[in-house]
């Protein structure tokens, strides 16, 4: 359930009815926060940190535990730090550009 304290429009029985404009904002904010998260991971990796992004979690439980005010919503989690070198997998081989692409 989405709640926004700055707007009471569309409230029925304590639930927010998503208008078309609000639906668009929610959709865009999800995409934008994912992109910002990707930039964050790239920056962390450029500093030599290991990153373990995770999705498919119980966002409601995460929000309740870490953002009890309800103004912030989680998108994904990312473990960041220095992994144990004996347990960190090396990057798998990647094909070269010419193996997968051609310029026409």
> Considering the domain boundaries, does residue 102 fall inside one?
no
Distance from C-alpha of 57 to C-alpha of 47, rounded to nearest angstrom: 27
If one counts the domains in the chain, the total is 1
The answer to whether residue 16 sits within a structural domain is yes
Q: What is the pTM of this model?
A: 0.61
The listed range with the strongest mean pLDDT (23-27, 39-43, 83-87, 90-94) is 39-43
- Please give the pLDDT value at position 12: 52
Instruction: Establish if 95 belongs to a structural domain.
Output: no
Tell me the mean pLDDT in the region 19-31: 80
- pLDDT value of residue 14: 52
Q: Residue 44 falls within a domain, yes or no?
A: yes
Q: Decide if pLDDT at 69 tops 90.
A: no
Structural domain including 25 reads 11-88
């Amino acid at each position: 359930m989405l709640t926004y304290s700055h707007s009471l429009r569309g409230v029925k029985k304590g639930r927010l009815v998503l208008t078309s404009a609000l639906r668009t904002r929610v959709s865009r904010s999800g995409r934008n926060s994912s992109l910002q998260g990707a930039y964050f991971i790239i920056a962390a990796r450029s500093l030599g940190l290991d990153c373990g992004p995770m999705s498919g979690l119980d966002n409601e439980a995460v929000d309740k535990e870490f953002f009890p005010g309800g103004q912030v919503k989680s998108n994904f989690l990312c473990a960041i730090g220095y992994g144990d070198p004996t347990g960190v997998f090396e990057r798998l081989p990647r094909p070269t550009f010419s193996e997968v692409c051609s310029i026409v």
